[in-house]
Amino acid sequence: MAAKTKFRGSFTALVTPFKNGSLDEAAFRSLVNWQISEGTNGLVPVGTTGESPTLSHDEHKKVVEWCIEEAKGRVPVIAGAGSNSTKEAIELAQHAERAGANAVLVVTPYYNKPTQEGLYQHFKAINDAIGIPIIIYNIPPRSVIDMSVDTMKRLWELKNIAGVKDATASMVRVSQQRAAMGEDFNQLSGEDATIIGYMAHGGHGCISVTSNVAPRLCSEFHAAWQKGDTKAALAIHDKLMPLHNNLFIESNPAPIKYAMTLLGKLDEALRLPMVPVSEPTRVAVRSAMVHAGLIN
């Protein structure tokens, strides 16, 4: 077992800002610096939150490069490199490695619904093509398939499989995966609302949507948890819980982009088929921002 990871704490699943239909490089670079200054422990560009499905490959690669350049090694970068085409996933993963990413995040192939053996062969092919760690992104609500613990255990035997971004929202799964793979298998939550339970079951951190707008609070939650101050962690969790809920009333990343406009961080622009959120969702997101103390 070679390329393992010890990612801990709050990793932000970065949004991708747009302006006039194009990537907004200045806004993106500014976000990277703000995230780091606010205490975020790591960055994850071009995942679901980064609207990877509607970025061209050239745009995808640019965003990864900008993130790594701007981070300047201050925090690790886990670059999104998933596709439902194994060949495309390999190309994106190889680019991320050349660009200097610390690891890649590879989603289970969506739409084509591979079997567990197909999942194994997909990730093995990517493993064999690169030399940096791979975080499996298991998100059944979006990809339709659920990677089993047995398949993860098989993959864990490969040199670059390092852990999982677990968006199953199942607390049981964390313990099952820890029992099967051990403590060195790097378990990161992909569901903000379940984070306190996830950590209690032995998780190591979170790849967070909420931390786009509340990076300091999210990092403070993990710092408190790591110190064993569960009372302080619970207080922060309660402060963030309305955001964790309301940022998913409509499909991510539309609500989080609206929330970020309230902080003046970017334009609300999304790419079709994503559209701006409805007025009731705006009210709910704004209310959650006030509850968290992010706006008046």
Cα 146 to its chain centre, rounded Å, is 17
Which backbone phi and psi does 185 adopt, to 5 degrees?
A: -75, 115
Give the closest residue to 222 by CA, choosing from 15, 16, 38.
38
Indicate the pairing of strand 205-208 with strand 103-107: unpaired
Strands, E, within the chain: which ranges?
A: 9-13, 18-19, 22-23, 42-44, 78-80, 103-107, 134-138, 161-166, 186-189, 205-208
Look at residues 140, 191, 131, 186 and name the one whose alpha carbon lies nearest to residue 164: 186
Catalytic site positions? 137, 165
What pairs with residue 78 in β-bridges?
A: 103
Residue 207 marked in a binding site: yes
* Three-class SS state of 249: coil
Using alpha carbons, select from 38, 22, 52 the residue that is nearest to residue 217. Answer: 38
Taking the C-alpha atoms of residue 1 and residue 22, their distance in angstroms, rounded to an integer, is 41
Query: What backbone phi and psi angles, to 5 degrees, belong to 217?
Result: -60, -40
Residue 49 annotated as lining a ligand binding site: yes
Q: Which residues are annotated as a binding site?
A: 49, 207
Q: Which residues are annotated as a binding site for pyruvate?
A: 49, 207
